[in-house]
Chains A and B, each alone.
Chain A
Amino acid sequence: MSAPSDAVLSVRNVTKVIRGREIIKGISFEVYAGEVFGFLGPNGAGKTTTIRMLVDLIKPTSGTIEVGGVDVHRNHNQAMKQVGCIVENPELYSYLTGWENLEHFGRMIPGVTRERIREAAEIVGMDKRIHDKVKTYSLGMRQRLGIAQALLGRPRLLILDEPTNGLDPQGIKEMRRFIRRLAEAGLSVFVSSHLLSEIQLMCDRVAIISQGRVLAVGRVEELLEQLGQRVVWTLSSEGGRDLLASHPGVAILPGTRQPGDGEPENGRFHVSAKMNPDLVPALNSLLVKAGIGVYSIEMKNPSLEDLFLSLTEGEHID
């Protein structure tokens, strides 16, 4: 029994109150089959609390969470059969070997055979050191063992909390490729991150969360399109800013401050504006007529960072 439009995970109007404080303020989103879904927000936005609710570690105060049409709290076993997860760090039993850890969690899922354990270890490339104690593993290896553990029960949905945290650049790249491969094999992957570049590189769709609210959900490109293109002008006098601002269809972006933005630098002023690139020639001639020198005109493709900043109006993100 699958929900309409093939939603593997659907979250509807979920709130969570902890010690009288509303941590999650009514969030909704859906994750579809075979996609990598990014869950983006600064630290403390409620990402981990949400993930814990997705896997029934925390009970929502109100709202419903369904995996494959099954409520995760009311029907824990049926729902969790379809989910593999790593919540925060890949914490496994350090006094057991990798293999023993997989066996341990395999025993808790019906139908996991030795063969399947070997397969899972192979998928993550752990087959060589699988019989060593976990305490001798590097963080990257623990991360991979964690994923092997999550894949044991052949889940439909994989939930990874900050999967690239603490990995070196090479490890991050591998992880990204690995997650894409899993999605191509038909798995839905839910990835949380506080790093915009991460999400932009590996996700099909994204939900942006801040202070317990989902600010936007959609395909990454669509969201960026909404934002419109950005043009950075380098001008000889500050008067150019007012001239640009007075033109219809142009919005000066104060939030997207970059080094030297709006500040004089060798007598040059940078002004970044949200506008349709078609307006550039007309504006250029206007500026020239007004006696303002134009040093450069840069078209900037919007990044998720711009999107985030415009949604949160300058709330800090690293």
Chain B
Amino acid sequence: MTSLYPLIKNETLKMLKKKRFLVVVLILLVLIPIFTYAQMKVAQNLKKQFGTEDWRVTTQQQIIDYTNSLSSNRVPEEWKKWRKVQVELLQYSLDHNINPADPNGVTFARDFMKNAVGLFIPLLVAVLASDIVSSEHSTGTIKLLLTRPVARWRVLMSKLVTLVLFTSLIVLATGVLSYLISGFVFGFRGWTVPVLTGFRLNGADVDFSRVHAVPQWLYLFMEFGLAWFSCLAVACLSLMVSVIVRSTAAGMGIMLAALIAGTILSNMVSTWESAKYLFMVNLETVDYLTGTLPPIPGQTLPFSLAVLAVWALAGLTVAFTVFTRKDVLH
């Protein structure tokens, strides 16, 4: 019985030699500087608007305003807690002399992943994943792969493990590249800056009572963890499509259509509640950290993670069943 390790080595080798991963890294290398430039323009624009004002003065004023509102009786208790945390945050920026409006490498990486997790990164994963089985069919090498003394499920398992590996690499590369590239422009500081999180969604309302500040490195870690989970779900589903659809182009088309449909649906289906069970409207897991209202009422972080997990497991079940049973006719 061959162990799984040499099979994974084979798949990794093929993935690298096919240069698909290189293409993904190149895409990131081209796009991240563009986004960095855009971010820089935004920052410059802000500076122009408040050019004459010292940010320390405005921040100080904000702290005073918030503190005053805390003593008012008309402000609900929940709001007071929220304000208190905000005051702490502003005080931190004053103490450490960090303008909260100024971008840095870490905030850029954070914002980039938040915006990319819904569509951009899943697209890269789909590009990498959708030919992992179908290409073996189109080149005919599947016939050699499946006539070795290796069980079929092991062949697919090695492909799955390789896919998980490269999905993780994509998420990691996105983080590292966006930090490094934007860091050259905005500076590499910002790891310890506090960031607000702990928002809870209560139906259509955001519950601020548990909001607290965490250092930005920890926030980044949580954010990338969630993004990684979303990407894994996309990878599993791409694997299923790759097993079922023998044409790589068609398989990629299906995945892209599904992912893009997700972003369109998110913008229009707030009234169609059962749409929340679709995997593609649950990919924006990072939004739960920032307290953004979900596209469909009833979605919460555990709900989205559960939906993604169920879809991923169902996808894997179909993939393994079809792959191990189906006749290789062409």
Interface string of B313-330 (1 = CB under 8 A from A): 000000000000001110
Contact indicator B147/A96 (Cβ below 8 Å): no
Chain A residue, CB-CB nearest to B152: A76
Q: Give CA–CA (A107, B140) in the complex, Å.
A: 19
Which residues of A have CB within 8 Å of B13? 96, 100, 104
Q: Does A110 contact B (CB under 8 A)?
A: yes
Decide yes or no: A88 and B140 within 8 Å by CB, A108-B10, A110-B2 being known contacts: yes
Interface residues of A in 85-115 (CB under 8 A from B): 85, 87-89, 91-96, 100, 104-105, 107-110
Pick from A55, A85, A91, A96: contact of B14, CB under 8 Å:
A96
Q: Does B141 contact A (CB under 8 A)?
A: yes
Q: Give CA–CA (A80, B1) in the complex, Å.
A: 12
Contact indicator A58/B147 (Cβ below 8 Å): no
Q: Give CA–CA (A56, B148) in the complex, Å.
A: 10
Which of B14, B143, B151 neighbours the largest number of chain A CB atoms within 10 Å of its CB?
A: B143
Chain B residue, CB-CB nearest to A152: B148
Q: Does B7 contact A (CB under 8 A)?
A: yes
Q: Give CA–CA (A105, B144) in the complex, Å.
A: 8
Pick from A88, A91, A95, A105: contact of B148, CB under 8 Å:
A105
Interface string of B105-148 (1 = CB under 8 A from A): 00000000000000000000000000000000001110111111
Interface residues of B in 1-54 (CB under 8 A from A): 1-2, 6-7, 9-10, 13-14, 17-19
Contact indicator B147/A81 (Cβ below 8 Å): no
Within the complex, the shortest CB–CB distance from B223 to chain A, in Å, comes to: 36
Chain B residue, CB-CB nearest to A89: B140
Q: Does A18 contact B (CB under 8 A)?
A: yes
Q: Does A52 contact B (CB under 8 A)?
A: yes
Contact indicator B6/A52 (Cβ below 8 Å): no
Contact indicator B146/A56 (Cβ below 8 Å): yes
Which residues of A have CB within 8 Å of B139? 91, 93-94
Contact indicator A96/B140 (Cβ below 8 Å): no
Which residues of B have CB within 8 Å of A24? none
Pick from B7, B19, B147, B329: contact of A18, CB under 8 Å:
B329
Within the complex, the shortest CB–CB distance from A97 to chain B, in Å, comes to: 9
Within the complex, the shortest CB–CB distance from B145 to chain A, in Å, comes to: 8
Contact indicator B143/A57 (Cβ below 8 Å): yes
Which residues of B have CB within 8 Å of A100? 13, 17
The A-B contact count (CB < 8 A) is 85
Contact indicator A58/B140 (Cβ below 8 Å): no
Q: Does A83 contact B (CB under 8 A)?
A: yes
Contact indicator B149/A92 (Cβ below 8 Å): no
Contact indicator A81/B140 (Cβ below 8 Å): no
Q: Does B64 contact A (CB under 8 A)?
A: no
Q: Give CA–CA (A108, B13) in the complex, Å.
A: 14
Which residues of A have CB within 8 Å of B145? 108
Q: Does A68 contact B (CB under 8 A)?
A: no
Q: Does A153 contact B (CB under 8 A)?
A: yes
Q: Does B150 contact A (CB under 8 A)?
A: yes
Contact indicator B151/A91 (Cβ below 8 Å): no
Which of B2, B19, B146, B149 neighbours the largest number of chain A CB atoms within 10 Å of its CB?
A: B149
Which residues of B have CB within 8 Å of A55? 143, 147
Interface string of B170-204 (1 = CB under 8 A from A): 00000000000000000000000000000000000
Chain B residue, CB-CB nearest to A91: B140
Interface residues of B in 279-330 (CB under 8 A from A): 327-329
Within the complex, the shortest CB–CB distance from A69 to chain B, in Å, comes to: 16
26 A-B contact pairs sorted by A residue (CB < 8 Å): A18-B329, A52-B327, A55-B143, A56-B146, A57-B146, A59-B327, A76-B152, A77-B149, A80-B147, A83-B147, A87-B143, A87-B147, A88-B140, A91-B140, A91-B141, A93-B17, A95-B19, A96-B14, A100-B13, A104-B10, A104-B14, A105-B144, A107-B2, A108-B7, A108-B148, A109-B148
Assuming A93-B14, A107-B2, what are 5 further A-B pairs, CB within 8 angstroms? A55-B147, A78-B149, A104-B14, A107-B7, A109-B2
**What residues of chain A have their CB less than 8 Å away from a CB belonging to chain B?**
18, 52, 55-59, 76-78, 80-81, 83, 85, 87-89, 91-96, 100, 104-105, 107-110, 149, 153
